Chain A
Amino acid sequence: MSALCTPRSLAFSMLSPGSAERELDRMVSTFFEASPFACASGAARNVARTGFPPINIWEDEHAFSVEAELPGFRLAELNIQLVGNELTISGTREIAEPTEGRVHRRERASGCFTRTLRLGADIDAEKVHASLDSGVLTVTLPRAENAKPRKIEIKPTV
């Protein structure tokens, strides 16, 4: 990444520090590790501990659905990478500065972001797919065959 990365306000403070969040953090550490931004500008921003974009995950025995809210992005502007069971989503949203008039409020995040998360099972990388609909990114990651639950037959001893 380059010096283009000058996040204006990458903090999405969806969660205020509180017991609910600590609860989540504990869940995260057992499930995957989320790292906040790694923008090249490097300025350690006081971002919400969730980072940007906020992420939700669903799962069943076949697959994980990782979902992130990315309004204003196109799929081509996002970089989605899977290494092992580590999923990285990165991208840049530029918001043009108005050339005239007056800015009254500025809450929408712009700049670049990177989030990496480790999923709790092996993934069948060939079958991962991503879709972006109305600003919501969904990455579906099927579990690898060896990571799917298996019913163990118990044979009676004769």
Chain B
Amino acid sequence: MNSSSCCTTANQACGCDTASQPASAKTPTYLPSVDVHETADAIVITADVPGARSDGIDLTFEDSVLTLRAAVSPRKHEASRRPAYREYGVGDYVRKFSVRESISAERIGARLADGVLTITLPKADSVRPRKIRIEAANN
């Protein structure tokens, strides 16, 4: 297997409360925590996106960059109650991954359960390890 392949993460979204976002951005976005795991057949990205629903998730794969966006709507008690204490901000998640391995883009799959998004990027057949059969020579 191609060593040091796979993913580098481009930290293009802001992951902290004191948003260092460009002034044009209306609301801050947050970096989801991720695990990235690679097997012979696929790269699997597991992202914590609490508060996101499946209809708010937008995944695009273009020029070897996977972009994950997950929309998070404001909490319903935000309207009626006033904030008393805050350790984290609530907003959309954005994160980009540049993928060096050849990926079969049309087979990328994703699954959301309990605020955890699992994205499977199957490797293209050309980069999957192949077992070479050795024929015995009859001599």
Contacts and interface: CB of A to CB of B under 8 A. Distances in A.
Contact of B16 (A14, A69, A102): A14
A63 to B, nearest CB: 8
A103 B78 CA distance: 38
B18 A18 contact: yes
A56 interface: yes
A50 interface: yes
A98 B37 contact: yes
Interface in A111-147: 120, 132, 134-136, 138, 140
B15 interface: yes
Nearest to B83: A58
A106 B39 CA distance: 15
Contacts of A140: 77
Contact of B50 (A27, A98, A105, A134): A134
Nearest to B6: A104
A20 B37 CA distance: 35
A95 interface: yes
A58 B33 contact: no
Interface string A1-35: 00000000000101110101000100110011000
Interface residues of A, number: 48
Nearest to A60: B81
Contacts of B84: 31, 57-59, 64, 120
16 contacts: A20-B17, A55-B85, A56-B87, A58-B81, A59-B82, A63-B81, A71-B49, A100-B39, A100-B40, A101-B40, A102-B38, A107-B33, A108-B46, A134-B51, A135-B116, A136-B115
Interface of A: 12, 14-16, 18, 20, 24, 27-28, 31-32, 50, 54-60, 63-65, 67, 69-74, 95, 98, 100-109, 120, 132, 134-136, 138, 140
